[in-house]
Amino acid sequence: MEQTVEQHVNEVLHRYFDGQPTLVAVAAGLVVVGAIGYLDYSTGEALSFAAVYLIPIGFGAWYGNTRAGLILAAASTVAGTTVSLGDPGMAPVIAGWNALMRCIFFVITSTLLSRLRDELRSAQRLANTDPLTGAANRRRFYETVQQELRRAARHPRPLTLAYLDLDHFKEINDLLGHAVGDQLLHHVVRIVQEHIRGTDLVARLGGDEFAIFLPETDAEGAQALLPRLHELLLQAMIDRNWPVTFSIGVVTFDRPPASVDTVIQRADALMYQVKRAGKNQVRYEQADAPDAPKPAIEQTDSSPKPRS
């Protein structure tokens, strides 16, 4: 489905400004305030720019924080008041009153936008996060991978998905209880999150099945990360005397497949090959296209197994 102009603009803004330091949002907003002030001064009374100042204010409140929005509200007030003072026919009292009303309006707007942003982000976290482990849920996983597939279709780049299943996890629940099982799942996610990039994503797709999505990661990068991650997870299980190992299927696509389901199915199939071959291994496949896989490369783990 083709993106609308609004969706494209939102994607660009999100890509370049979301998660950036507040100073970046403030600096960008001040530049826009200056440009609006110049246009306001140049056109005189022919055009009103009062509402246009809301653009940088809203930008700062949304991509910065409450303080950034207030700074840009103050800057917009100063810019608009300075322009109005250049009008010789306006009495100082009226100019001062207009400045006060403008400031109140800008501050209220900035504050409301900041609160709305916080509420929306909180709701998004609840809607997109697995409440037990803190990993992304299936919905967020599908949305993230689909977005990356669209991006990779425009600008070809490799992507990798690792499908991870916990071996003997049912024994943990049966022997040690579900509370320990929940603790184990949370611990697995925490270890993975600590050793992947901020642009990567770990998602819980089932009870004890997880996906690790690695955008812009080729086969070499995947084979550098996954064995180390496998060893860290195994060692964590050994340290806590949890008799759990990990079967992992890893697929790298040099060209994006048609759908998210294709990505999952290929990695899931590899993971089940590991299960049938004895579990506790990492198996790789590099796919030039969805229907043209290269032979899988199997890595047998030689790390010590958890004590039963």
The CATH number of whichever domain residue 227 belongs to comes to 3.30.70.270
Residue 68 has pLDDT above 70, yes or no: yes
pLDDT above 90: residue 82: no
Boundary of a domain, candidates 109, 128, 147: 128
> Tokens 């996890």 map to which residue?
169
Question: pLDDT band at 307, cuts 50/70/90?
Answer: very low
270 and 155 fall within a common domain: yes
Question: pLDDT tens, 201-218?
Answer: 999 998 899 999 999 999
Residue 153: predicted pLDDT: 81
85-103 mean pLDDT: 81
> CA-CA distance, 97 to 81, in Å (whole number)?
10
| 163 and 120 both lie in a single domain | no
Domain-embedded: residue 305 = no
Last residue of a domain, one of 128, 152, 178: 128
Tell me whether residue 133 is in a domain.
no
Beta-strand relationship, 245-253 and 281-289: parallel
Q: Is 92 domain-assigned?
A: yes
Please report whether residue 306 resides in a domain.
no
Residue range 6-58, pLDDT digits in tens:
566 666 666 666 667 888 889 999 999 999 988 988 887 656 788 899 999 99
Q: Is residue 47 domain-resident?
A: yes
Residue 36 sits in the same domain as residue 95:
yes
Residues 152 and 42 in one domain: no
Is the domain of 145 the same as that of 184?
Answer: yes
The reply to whether 45 and 194 lie within a common domain is no
Do 150 and 294 lie in a common domain? yes
Verify that 147 and 101 share a domain, yes or no: no
Which residues neighbour 308 within 8 Å (Cβ) at sequence distance 6 or greater? Answer: 243
Domain that holds residue 286: 138-300
Matching residue, tokens 């759990």: 244
- pLDDT of 116 higher than 80: yes
d(CA 258, CA 154): 13
Can you give the pLDDT at residue 191? 96
Domain count of the fold of the chain: 2
In a domain, 233, yes or no: yes
Answer yes or no: do 71 and 168 share one domain: no
Averaged pLDDT score across all residues of the chain: 85
> Is 31 a domain residue?
yes
Among the three residues 128, 158, 190, which one is the final residue of a domain in this structure? Answer: 128
**Where does the pLDDT of residue 303 fall: very low under 50, low under 70, confident under 90, or very high at 90 and above?**
very low
Q: Model's pTM, two decimal places?
A: 0.63
- Cα–Cα distance, 105 to 77 (Å, whole number): 10
pLDDT digits (tens, 9 = 90+) for 281-296: 999 998 864 444 444 4
79-108: average pLDDT: 84
Min mean pLDDT across 10-14, 56-60, 88-92, 255-259 is at: 10-14
In angstroms and rounded to an integer, the radius of gyration of the C-alpha atoms of the chain is 26
Assess whether pLDDT exceeds 90 at residue 91: no
Question: Residue 248 pairs with which residues in a beta bridge?
Answer: 164, 282
Confidence of residue 123 (pLDDT cuts 50, 70, 90): confident
User: Are both 77 and 157 inside the same structural domain?
Assistant: no
Alpha helices by DSSP H, the chain: 5-17, 22-43, 54-63, 66-85, 92-128, 138-154, 169-176, 178-194, 219-239, 260-276
Q: What is the pLDDT of residues 148-177, one digit of tens each?
A: 998 888 888 899 999 999 999 999 999 999
| Local structure of residue 297 (DSSP, 8 states) | E
Helix (H) / strand (E) element for 299: namely strand 297-300
Query: Minimal CA–CA distance to 247: which of 162, 139, 146, 132?
Result: 162
Residue 195 lies in a domain: yes
Q: Are residues 107 and 144 in the same domain?
A: no
DSSP 205-265: -SSSEEEEEEET--HHHHHHHHHHHHHHHHHHHHHTT---EEEEEEEEESS--S-HHHHHH
Same domain, 145 and 163: yes
